Amino acid sequence: MPRRDKRADIVNAGIRIFSRKGFQRCSVEDILQEAHVARATFYSYFDSKKDLFLELVDTILNNMFEIAAREFAEMPNNLEELKEKTKNAFIQLYNFFAENLEFSAIYIQEVMGMNPEIDYRILEWQQRVDELVKMLINRGIEMGMFRPLDVDVVATMVAGAPQHLGLHLFLYKKNVDVPRVAEAIADYLIYGLAARN
C-alpha cells in the first residue's frame, strides 16, 4: 500500500477549509480534522495557518502568471496571431478558475486587504503581469501593430481588467461560456490598441 502524502493532504484540506470558512474564521484544528493528521504532522510542514495560506496564495498567483507568460513567450507577427494568443491565454486562465473553484475561491474571497504580507505578494504579482503586458505593448508599437499610447497606464488597465472580469464572472455566474468571454476580451483588447489606418 503506498504511503499517504500527508503534506498534500494538509494542502488540499487547507484549500477546502479556506474556501469554505475563509482564513479568519478557520483554525488549524479545522485543517487537522479535514486532513486527518495530527497536530505535530501539520507543524512538521508548516509553521502556522498563515504559512499554509501564503503557500496557497503563491501557488495561485504563480499558476496564473505562468499561463500568460507561456502563451506570450514569443511575440506574434500580426494582430490576428496576437488576438488568438490573447484569447488562448484567457481560455486557459478562466479554465484554471473553473477547474479549481475551491482554490480560486481563496483568491477571490480572501486575498486583498487581509494583511500586508499577502497584499505585498499580490502587488508584486500584479507588477510582474504589468511588466509582461508593457513588453508586449511596446513590441506591438515597435512592429506597427499598435498605435502610440501611454504604455504605463494602458498596461495596468489591460493587465487588471480581464482579471477583474474573470473574478466577477466566477463569483456571480453559474455557467460561464469561457470561449465566448475570451473571444470578446481578446477582440476588445487587441483591436482597441491597434494602429489606425
How do residues 33-74 score in pLDDT, each as one tens digit? 999 999 999 999 999 998 998 888 888 888 888 988 888 888
Q: Burial letters for 85-94: b for 16+ Cβ neighbours within 10 Å, e otherwise?
A: bbbbbbbbbb
Distance in angstroms (rounded) separating the CA atoms of residues 3 and 150: 56
Amino acid letter, 19? S
**Residue 1 predicted with pLDDT over 60:** no
Give me 80's grid cell.
490576428
Residues with Cβ within 8 Å of residue 139, at least 6 apart in sequence: 75
**Residue 90 predicted with pLDDT over 80:** yes
Query: pLDDT, tens digit, for every residue of 113-149?
Result: 556 777 777 778 888 888 988 998 999 999 999 999 9
Percent of all residues in the chain with a pLDDT value above 70, rounded to a whole number: 87
Confidence (pLDDT) at 35: 94
Domains along the chain with CATH numbers: 1-46 (1.10.10.60), 53-193 (1.10.357.10)
CB distance 109 to 84 below 8 Å: no
Confidence (pLDDT) at 18: 87
CB distance 17 to 26 below 8 Å: yes
Q: Assign 120 to helix, strand or coil.
A: helix
